[in-house]
Amino acid sequence: MYSISNRRYTGSKYKLIDWIEELILENCEGESFFDVFAGTGVVSEHMSKHYNKVIINDFLFSNEIIYKAFFGNGEYDTGIIEKYKEKFQKIDPDRIKDNYFSKNFGGKYFSNNDAKLIGKIREDIKRLKRVLSDREYYILLASLVYSMDRVANTVGHYDAYRKINNIEDRFVYDLISPEKPSDKFCIYRMDANELVRKVKADIAFIDPPYNSRQYSRFYHVLENVVQWKKPQLEGTALKPKAENMSEYCKSRAPEVFADLIKNINAKYIIVTYNNTYNSKSSSSKNKITLEEIKKILSSKGQTAIYEKKHQCFNAGKTEFDDHKEFVFITKVGLNNGK
């Protein structure tokens, strides 16, 4: 079974989570935790044991489904989930027709047989939605996302596929390991700058995108499968028309970040940042500088900065020399003129 961390994801904090946890527990107090740009959800999962309430947010459809599957408060029947897992595992790709997914992605991101299976299972899950509980539907769909992500013919994201003539059949449908129903988690899929105006928490954890790489484009195949609108695709990477684009990946990023910090309602603000600003790759260059973040956070409260050497997830050929991860911890309202 898949745990929530069993994904390849750009910017994942999985390898830094123990350090981040230690810093938060040493410097912050409170009973609620707000993961503003939750990504994989690993930070929320790891920190949830320390708090009575966890607010988890991301604007990707695929991440929202994953949160609802792992953390939702709806009931689910393990027997029903297992029954469909066994049924999906028995599907013979030689006995099913080509479908939207195999026609577009077969022989590229997946083998032809694997792509047929993914498309067939997605159609089955859509059809089953009327007889499943919401949580059962989310679990089956998130399990498909994890199963396909494990075997995708990529370097870890879907901006391109590896040029291989004969892609091996590797797909096996397996289940995620969801948590028991709980009212602890509040799940959102919203623009972070809008959401911070509506919710409050003792501790806000902020790990936004900082460079020009749009996550909705990086993970377009997963977004496609989850939404299942079957859009027309274009270009070598077979992407749909652009949607769900983040302002944090554009030149306005410092202005948007300043707006976020100004309007966030929290006692403590934790911001993570890595020093790719001087990267040789234009797409990897940060849109917000270290100094800009320091200035913006200092206007909100007393801010301390911690750093750690870290080899980041790098799916391309960009070289990051002396790569560091920074954590800013701001105690709101102290030394900021309030």
Query: Which residue ranges form the domains of the chain, and what is each CATH number?
Result: 13-61+183-212+250-338 (3.40.50.150), 74-181+216-232 (no CATH)
In tens, the pLDDT along 255-292 reads: 999 999 999 999 999 999 886 545 444 444 556 889 99
Mean pLDDT, the chain, whole residue set: 91
321 falls in which pLDDT band (50, 70, 90)? low
Q: What is the pTM of this model?
A: 0.92
Q: How far apart are CA 37 and CA 190, in angstroms?
A: 10
Q: What is the pLDDT of residue 286?
A: 58
pLDDT band at 318 (very low <50, low <70, confident <90, very high): very low
Q: pLDDT tens digits, residue range 208-233? A: 887 667 889 999 999 999 999 999 99
The amino acid occupying position 331 is K
Residue 320 — very low, low, confident or very high, per pLDDT cuts 50/70/90?
A: very low
> Would you tell me the crossing angle of helices 253-263 and 290-298 to the nearest 10 degrees?
20
* DSSP label of 230: -
Asked whether residue 148 carries a pLDDT value surpassing 80, the answer given is yes
pLDDT at 299 over 90: yes
For 110-177, give the DSSP string: B-HHHHHHHHHHHHHHHHHTTTS-HHHHHHHHHHHHHHHHHH-SSSSSSS-----SSPPP------B-
